[in-house]
Amino acid sequence: MTVTPLAARSSRAVLEVLRAHGWDAGLAATASDGLQSLAFHCTGLEPDVLEALVPFAGTLGLDVVTGDGWAILAGSRARLSAFARPWTAPAALIQLTLDLGQAMPAEPAPAWRTARGSLPLDRPVLMGILNVTPDSFSDGGRYAGVDMALAQADALVEAGATIVDIGGESTRPGRTEAVPAAVELGRVLPVIEGLTARHPSLVLTVDTVKSDVARAALAAGAAAINDVTALRLDPAMAATVATAGAGLVLMHSRGDILEIASYAHATYADVAGEVAAELRGAIGRAQAAGVPAASIAVDPGLGFSKTVEQNIELFDRLDALVALGHPVVVGPSRKRFLGVVTGQAVDARDRATAAACALAWERGARIFRVHEVAGARDALSVARAVGGP
């Protein structure tokens, strides 16, 4: 049985009306949150569950649409919360009420903890991409030299990046060889050391799937690790991050390092539900290894192991990841699905990237991994002003 959120949008309008009528800010927030409309897709339901679901949900004023083994359950958050009380439900519905309670959108994480301190998430956090590889899909080779990499990092920071994400191994489609750890370290360590000296307060993340690279990068001054396989390929990664007291981004993908940017494993019956479930498993493994919940962020892995259509659906349903209770990172920057939607080549997708970031903020994302920071910064400023926190 699985329960996946389908929609959760800002309740700011109701909040502001209540405050205008003189309500206390805390009471207004609670009431507006309770009135927020939500919907859930429930699958793997047995006939006795479906039989009990319709009348019980009806007594609570919820809307239900059912089919063979599935249901969509919709209503206000307050009424759905009442449904999620197993002690009031018929025996056949107890497990469903528990699952729905777990799938209810969590309170937004206030901050993301890294080895350089916590980053507040009450406003968009921009993560500038710094590829120090010769073969990245968008800017391969442009910043492969240390001086060029440092200059680009300066530009990212000046444009508004709070985080710089350094990558020493490309994950572009069509790669045929993995990068040895020694080569990857030779690319990223001089940049980390240079940036740590140049920008002592800058949060540096390193995009790697190798615990050996992560360990050396964190020792050199990086604050967090961005694992694009969500701990699948190196079982020592989580403990390495935990020992360093660092932050951890768990990005969804499938397959080995040479397959993750392909469609080889893009086989989903419910892309948002399956991505959320697989990330939930990665979160559990990270915490079991000692990584605190406050240090974990999740990333849907747009462009990784997903078709264009699946990327678009997953993007629209980021609520499923927000419900996991950890900061959501998105990296739509210049991705193939934006090229299909706009008809633009890789180097002309920054406007689409900025629009995607604004839409992702509305859907609950808080950290935005981009190549071109200024455009995303402005789009997100507008999104925050209109949509609120």
Residues 236, 237, 238: CA angle, nearest 5 degrees: 100
Asked if residue 109 has pLDDT above 80, the reply is yes
Q: How confident is the model at residue 148 (pLDDT cuts 50, 70, 90)?
A: confident
Q: Which residues of 153-190 are buried (b: 16+ CB within 10 A; e: fewer)?
A: beebbebbbbbbbbbbbbbeeebeeebebeebbebbbb
DSSP-derived pairing of the beta strands 125-131 and 367-370: parallel
What pLDDT, on the 0 to 100 scale, is given for residue 138? 54
Strand-pairing partners, residue 65, are: 72
Please answer whether residues 340 and 352 qualify as being in contact, where contact means their C-beta atoms are separated by less than 8 angstroms. no
Are 230 and 83 found together in one domain?
Answer: no
> Looking at the structure, do residues 63 and 160 belong to the same domain, yes or no?
no
d(CA 52, CA 370): 47
pLDDT, one tens digit per residue, over 37-77 is 888 999 999 999 999 999 999 999 999 999 999 999 999 88
With bands split at pLDDT 50, 70 and 90, how would you rate the model's confidence at 9? low
CA 220/CA 237 separation, integer angstroms:
17
282, 363: one domain? yes
Of 68, 103, 138, at which residue does a domain stop?
103
- Looking at residue 14, what is its pLDDT? 66
Catalytic residue among 210, 317, 334, 335: 335
pLDDT tens, residue by residue, 262-300: 899 999 999 999 999 999 999 999 999 999 999 999 999
Summarize the confidence of residues 303-308 as an average pLDDT. 95
Whether the pLDDT of residue 254 is over 90: the answer is yes
From the candidates 113, 116, 369, 377, give the one annotated as an active-site residue: 369
Higher pLDDT, 21 or 189: 189
Give the lowest-confidence range in 27-31, 155-159, 347-351. Answer: 27-31
Q: Are residues 240 and 354 in the same domain?
A: yes
Q: Are residue 203 and residue 85 in the same domain, yes or no?
A: no
Q: Are residues 58 and 149 in the same domain?
A: no
The pLDDT value recorded for residue 176 is 57
If you search the block for the tokens 């590889």, which residue do you land on? 133
Q: Does 124 share its domain with 97?
A: no
Residues 81 and 213 in one domain: no
CB 382 within 8 A of CB 354: no
d(CA 193, CA 219): 10
Query: What is the reported pLDDT for 85?
Result: 94
Residue whose tokens read 């919360």: 81
Q: How confident is the model at residue 141 (pLDDT cuts 50, 70, 90)?
A: low
Q: What is the pLDDT of residue 24?
A: 81
Told to judge if 306 belongs to the known catalytic residues of this protein, a careful annotator would answer no
Mean pLDDT of 25-43: 78
pLDDT at site 25: 77
Instruction: Give pLDDT, residue 11.
Output: 59
What's the whole-number average pLDDT of the chain? 90
Residue 231 clears pLDDT 70, i.e. is over it? yes
pLDDT in tens, 180-211: 999 999 999 999 999 999 999 999 999 999 99
pLDDT number for residue 179: 86
Report d(CA 282, CA 355) in Å as an integer.
29
CA 155 → CA 150, 159, 374, distances in Å?
A: 9, 6, 10
Identify the domain containing residue 24 by its residue range. 2-103
Evaluate if residue 145 carries a pLDDT over 90.
Answer: no
Question: In degrees rounded to 5, what are phi and psi of residue 75?
Answer: 165, -170
CATH assignment of the domain containing 254 = 3.20.20.20
pLDDT for res 19: 77
Residue 224 has pLDDT above 90, yes or no: yes
Whose tokens are 């002309």? That residue is 348
Please compute Rg for the chain using Cα positions: 22
Report residue 296 as tokens: 């974990």
pLDDT tier for residue 227 given thresholds of 50, 70 and 90: very high
Cα distances (angstroms) measured from residue 336 to each of 268, 308, 333, 346? 19, 7, 9, 8
DSSP string, 309-364: HHHHHHHHTTHHHHTTTSPBEE--TT-HHHHHHH---GGG-HHHHHHHHHHHHHTT
Which pLDDT score, from 0 to 100, does residue 48 have? 96
Listed residues 78, 103, 128: the one ending a domain = 103
167 shares its domain with 306: yes
Determine the pLDDT at residue 28: 75
Encoded tokens for 119: 């980053």
CA dihedral 17, 23, 27, 29 (to 10 degrees): 30
Is residue 124 pLDDT above 90, yes or no? yes
> DSSP H helical segments within the chain, as ranges?
12-20, 25-35, 47-59, 77-83, 94-103, 146-159, 181-198, 211-220, 237-244, 271-288, 308-316, 319-322, 336-342, 350-362, 373-387
* 87 shares its domain with 116: no
Confidence of residue 105 (pLDDT cuts 50, 70, 90): confident
Backbone angles phi, psi at 215, to 5 degrees: -60, -45
> Which one-letter DSSP state was computed for residue 372?
-
Q: How confident is the model at residue 171, as a pLDDT?
A: 74
Chain centroid to CA 161: how far?
18
pLDDT of amino acid 26:
76
Length of the chain as a residue count: 389
Considering the domain architecture, whether residues 332 and 375 belong to the same structural domain is answered as: yes
Q: Which of 22-26, 45-49, 98-102, 196-200 has the highest mean pLDDT?
A: 45-49
pLDDT at 2 over 80: no
Whether residue 86 is found in the same domain as residue 118: no
Identify the domain boundary among 51, 73, 103. Answer: 103
Q: In this prediction, what percent of the chain has a pLDDT beyond 70?
A: 91
342 within 8 A of 353, measured Cβ to Cβ = no
Place of tokens 């030299």: 145
3-state secondary structure of 67: strand
Report pLDDT for 345.
Answer: 93
Amino acid code (one letter) for 276: A
| Residue 280 known to be catalytic | no
Q: What's the DSSP call for residue 4?
A: E
Structural contact between residues 228 and 253, judged by C-beta atoms closer than 8 angstroms: yes
- Residue 147's pLDDT band (cuts 50, 70, 90): confident
Structure tokens, 70: 């599935």
Q: In total, how many domains does the chain have?
A: 2
When pLDDT is cut at 50, 70 and 90, the band that residue 143 belongs to is low
Look at residue 169 and tell me whether its pLDDT is greater than 60.
Answer: yes
